[in-house]
Structures are given as structure tokens and as C-alpha cells.
Structure 1
Amino acid sequence: MATHEIKVARRDDQGKGASRRLRRQDKVPAVVYGGDLGPVSIELEHNDVWLASQHEWFYAAILDLSLNGDVQKVLLRDMQRHPAKPRIMHLDFQRVNENQALRVSVPLHFLNQDTSPAGKTSGVVVMHELNEVEISCLPKDLPEFIEVDLAQIKEGDVIHLSELKLPKGVEIPALNFGKEHDIAVVIARQIKEEEEPEAEVAAEVPATKQPAPKAAPGAAAPAAKPAPKK
């Protein structure tokens, strides 16, 4: 398991005003809680946190928070972002007990999709129904991601949670609640083009008045009818 160290400093000021002052100094207020110790307020350099947040491991891996050389192993449990600016506003970290199983959502990495039979079949779409899965394991067994090999997937195939190859010591808690929780992770489906609806039958046009037949050549024109007497 890779190590990801992040340097932090302890903060004594509390409240919204103190947090605003920290943000103006380009720092991020945060809290660490859980385990046998009480909650501790800390601060981090925004640039360090921002760079870490661009990596997948920041959200699923165990992090080493280093406070002047004192390292605590934690998981990121909450992140608050600014609604309009590329700013991280606050972080929550939970301490990790190395002897206690934890539940974490880890990302899925899909491999060999383009070279699979489904990937090479025209009109077939490989749909990822899930992009992450919640697992349970001891901290030492926590993977940063789980691979899903799609090399053999073909049209009509479905890969369920129970078919994922999990690392040793890792399980999916949802599968303990019955088959109805063994949901699809990947589906290879034929996408049919929608047929254009048939043109509606045109409404019947009422018959127009037919013109009077023309007289044969040399025939006398019909006499005009006299006007009615008053």
C-alpha cells in the first residue's frame, strides 16, 4: 500500500471568523476525529491540498497526516468546496484503527474494454453502471482501486458485484444482504437505431367542383337561361 503524507499544523482559533482568516492566508481549516482521541482542529496549505485533491488516492487511500513529525493515519470523510471558485473550504478526516475493519468507497478501473469482443462490435455499447464500490477491510488491506478486466466481455454480457475479483482480505458488504443487492457493474448492450415513425395518413381533401365539359368543335354553345321574371 502506497504512503501519502500530508503536512498539517494545529490551530487554536475556532469559529467562522478564524476560518475566514485562514482562507485569506491561503490555508484550509480542517478537523481530525475518531479513535481514542478527541477532535483536533488543524490547518493545511491550500496549494498542497489542491494538488492532492487532483489524485484519485486522496479520496480512498489512507493518508498520513504529519504534525511536526507526529503521524496519524486517517481517511478523508468530507470535503467542502467553494460553489463558484476553485477553492477547498474545509476538510474532515477520520482516524484509522489498524485493527478495526473500515468501510470505504473505492474507484473501479475498467481494463481492456476497447480490445474486447463487445468493444470491437459495431452498435454495441459497454455501459459502466458503477464507477466505485463500497468495500470492507482492515486498513492494511485497503486497495486504492479495484480492477475490472473486460477483455472477454461480449454483447449481452453482464458483470455483477459478485463477479469482481477482490484483493485478499477485501469484501463487499452489500452482498451480505441477498441476491437483490448483487447489482450490475457493467452491461454490454446492443444499441438499436430508433425507427422513424410512419408518416401519418394525410387527411382526405374534399372534392373540388369539376369544370363543365367543353363543347365539341362545331357544336353550338348551349343557350343561356333567361333571367327569371319578377
Structure 2
Amino acid sequence: MQFVAFERAKQGTGASRRLRITGRTPGIVFGGETPAATIELDHNALWHALKKEAFHASILDMELAGTTQKVLLRDVQYHPFKPLVLHVDFQRVDDKTRLHKKVPLHFVGAEESPAVKTDKCAVSHVMTEIEIECLATQLPEHITVDLSNVTTGSTVHTGDIVLPKGIKLVLHGRTNLTVATLVEPVKEVVAAPVVAAVDDKKKGKGKK
């Protein structure tokens, strides 16, 4: 994905506030051998880009001052309740940059699994993203979790994920975390009809 950024001359809280009023978002780009630089972006274009999953988990081409740099989105600050991006951070990367980054999990094949197709189980996604370590050039937009062979009562763990070459999971000392579980359908219990006992006296009341 490619986007355009502009050099930002003025800094400070007041300058950033005035910048947002004009429809721009302040930001910064850092990393590599070049000093950090303050930038600004068109807010509407940035807002729509942030809605795309790839913008968060892939290497981006940032055009700045006539040159294109490879960058990675590192942080986004949103307004507490307004649809407004307050600030963005980007990191410069190259083919030697090693990253720790959270990427989304994409679950596939569940509809064809014995648990879902035959036993009508539901898949409960315990994790929706996972942290990985890799070179910037190897960063995947997502990690695929194949559920086509899951059976009723089974649990999918991080150790079951097939990772692309060069990708390592970062679990921070934890092991084999639960990624998804198969929830069996609730069996509906139909109660037997209740036959009210008829009082013989009441049954005969009113008859002569």
C-alpha cells in the first residue's frame, strides 16, 4: 500500500490542534540511519486507510518530499469519542530490520470440518491476533489458521499453527496458548406434556 505524507514545520500542541482543524493529522517517522522527522497526512485519506487490515500489518510505501520510503505503522492515537485520528507513528524499515509485530489471525476451513459440518459445533475465537518476530521483508499481512480437520471437543493451540518460513511466534514465556475452541450446540430439551390430575369430586360437580 502507498500513501503520501508531507513535511511538517511547526510542532507543539497548539500547532497540532490548528493542523487538525485544517483536515490534517500530525505524525512522526523514525528509525533507520535518518533522524526522526515530523510529518502530516490528509486526515480523510488516513481514516479510510486505517480501516484496511493491510495498512496495520504490512510494509507501506510512504511518499515524502519526492522520495519513497518503506515504513511500518507503529502507533495510532484516536480521539476518545470523535471520529478523529490525533497522531500516527511510522517506523522506517529495510531488508535488515527485524520486527516484533502483532498480526491478525485468519481462520479458514471451519465449514468443512467434522465439528462444524457434521456435529454443528460453533467455533469460539479465543485469539484474533498474535505477535510474531521476523524480518520486515517477511512480514505477513495475516497468519492463517486451518480448521478444516477439527473435531468436536477439540482445542486449537498456538503449536498447531503452521507458520510461513522465517516467522516465529512471540509468546513471552507462555507455551501452547489456546487459539480457538469448538463449542457443541446446546441440545434443546423438550419437556413432556403435564397432564393435570382431575379431582373426582370436581369432575362430578354440577351433574345430577
TM-score range, shorter chain: 0.7 to 0.9
Q: Indicate whether 1:120 and 2:114 are aligned.
A: no
In 1: Cα distance, 2:75 partner to 2:187 partner: 43
Higher helix share: 2
List alignment gaps of at least 5 residues for structure 2.
Answer: 190-208
Equivalent residue pairs, number:
189
Matching of residue 104 in structure 1 with residue 101 in structure 2: yes
The one-letter amino acid paired with 2:139 is: L
TM-aligned CA deviation for residue 151 of structure 1: 1.2
2:68 aligned with 1:71: yes
Q: 1:190 is matched with which residue? A: 184
2:47 equivalent to 1:50: yes
CA distance in 2, matches of 1:58, 1:100: 18
Aligned residues with identical type, % of pairs: 42
CA–CA distance in 2 between the matches of 1:107 and 1:78?
Answer: 16
In the alignment, structure 1 segments of 5+ residues that lack a partner are 196-230
Runs of 4 or more above 4 Å deviation? 191-195
Equivalent residues in 2 for 1:1-230, closer than 5 Å = 4-121=1-118, 124-174=121-171, 177=173, 180-190=174-184, 192=186
Task: Give the letter for the 2:58 counterpart.
Answer: A
TM-score by length of 2: 0.84
- For residue 37 of structure 1, report the CA deviation from its aligned partner: 2.1
Show CA shifts across 1:167-222 (max 9, x none). Answer: 111111328x4xx4210111113355699xxxxxxxxxxxxxxxxxxxxxxxxxxx
Relative to the length of structure 1, the TM-score reads 0.76
Q: Which has the higher strand share?
A: 2
Which shows bigger deviation, 119-128 or 70-79?
Answer: 119-128
Deviations 1:52-83 (A, max 9, x none): 01100111111111113311211111111111
Deviation string, structure 1 residues 105-146 (Cα, Å, up to 9, x no partner): 110111122232222355632111110111111111111011
Higher gyration radius (CA): 1
User: Which amino acid in structure 1 is aligned with residue 22 of structure 2?
Assistant: Q
* 2:94 and 2:137 in contact (8 A); partners too: no
Contact 2:119 2:152 in 1 (8 A): no
Q: Counterparts of 2:122 and 2:76 in 1: how far apart (Å)?
A: 34
Contact preservation (8 Å) 2:132, 2:167: yes
CA RMSD of aligned residues (A): 1.9
In 2, the alpha carbon distance for the partners of 1:184 and 1:91 equals 32
